[in-house]
Amino acid sequence: MSAPKISISHLTSEVPHYYAISLLSKAWREQGLDVEFAREYADDAQLCILHHDKTRLSKDAIPVAPNGAKSLNGDVLDISKRLFSTLQLTPQSDWTGPVIVKSDLNHFGLQDGGGARADLISRARRRLARHSWRWARMLPEKHYPVLPSLNDVPNWVWNDQDLLVEKFLPEYSEDGLYCVRGWIFFGNQGYAYRSLSTDPMVKAASVVRSEFLDDVPAELIALRKQMKFDFGKFDYVVHDGMPILLDANKTPTYPTSDGTPTPRTRLLAKGIEAFL
């Protein structure tokens, strides 16, 4: 009997090893499963996984799974922050604390720019944004500015539908470090962790240490079900005992991965069994 076929729809022919799906596919192949990457789903697939690294997708633009095949993440078509943010502000908000200016798009909008990112004006603005994002009228690449108050937000930010202003409510560790938690899941498998950093953005280069967590807040489990995620990663903080979702990603990455599945990746890969 032939092995079940897993067909993964990806936008490019090559799938970089830093995508979690790349590592998972290696673990599945080690288990004897047949895994295929292509833009369209294979006609003989038993399981289809949508893996398009875009914030918003049109139902008409995604491939159709063959009859009888299960489809994962096929209903996750919009992961823009406005859909789930509980911290977003308007110019009329009565919030008096610090604020953070973010891209409404996933991963700083880097996968959503298309050809516009390559034109001369865009390149010039990106260079200027490294020195003064206010003058460039564009956020600096891979950085979200934290400002003292709403009054410090430039007017043009409010008119840009790709930007979002939120309350800045960081989580702090016992020793005063900034914290961001993550929960990565596939089917009924997953794990959570907390990264601690000297930088409010909790970038990999500034992470002092990471620790695995024993459980995931029930509120996030319910939100995952509401958002119809089969596979993905949620970034969140806990403030006054309540989890706050910061980012929902349906194409998670392992930026520091060397392309070899780890024990936790292999554990995550076992989530495929519930769908086969």
Predicted confidence at residue 153, as pLDDT, reads 96
Looking at residues 43-68, what average pLDDT do you find?
95
**Do 101 and 176 fall within a single domain?**
no
Predicted confidence at residue 154, as pLDDT, reads 95
In a domain, 44, yes or no: yes
pLDDT tens-digit profile of 154-164? Answer: 999 999 999 99
Which is nearest to 147 in space by CA: 170, 129, 165?
A: 165
What is the number of domains present in the chain?
Answer: 3
User: What is the domain-level CATH number for residue 209?
Assistant: 3.30.470.20
Looking at residues 96-115, what average pLDDT do you find?
78
Predicted confidence at residue 115, as pLDDT, reads 43
Q: Are 232 and 271 in contact (CB under 8 A)?
A: no
pLDDT at 8 over 70: yes
Predicted confidence at residue 64, as pLDDT, reads 95
Predicted confidence at residue 215, as pLDDT, reads 94
Containing structural domain, residue 38: 5-72
Share of the chain above pLDDT 70, in %: 92
**Do 56 and 140 fall within a single domain?**
no
Which is nearest to 268 in space by CA: 221, 232, 229, 224?
A: 232
**Do 162 and 205 fall within a single domain?**
no
7 bridge partner residues: 36, 48
Predicted confidence at residue 204, as pLDDT, reads 76
**Do 252 and 191 fall within a single domain?**
yes
Predicted confidence at residue 116, as pLDDT, reads 44
**Do 56 and 127 fall within a single domain?**
no
**Do 100 and 158 fall within a single domain?**
yes
**Do 196 and 259 fall within a single domain?**
yes
pLDDT at 114 over 70: no
pLDDT tens-digit profile of 183-232? Answer: 999 999 999 999 999 988 887 778 999 999 999 999 999 999 999 999 99
**Do 30 and 12 fall within a single domain?**
yes
pLDDT tens-digit profile of 12-23? Answer: 878 988 899 999
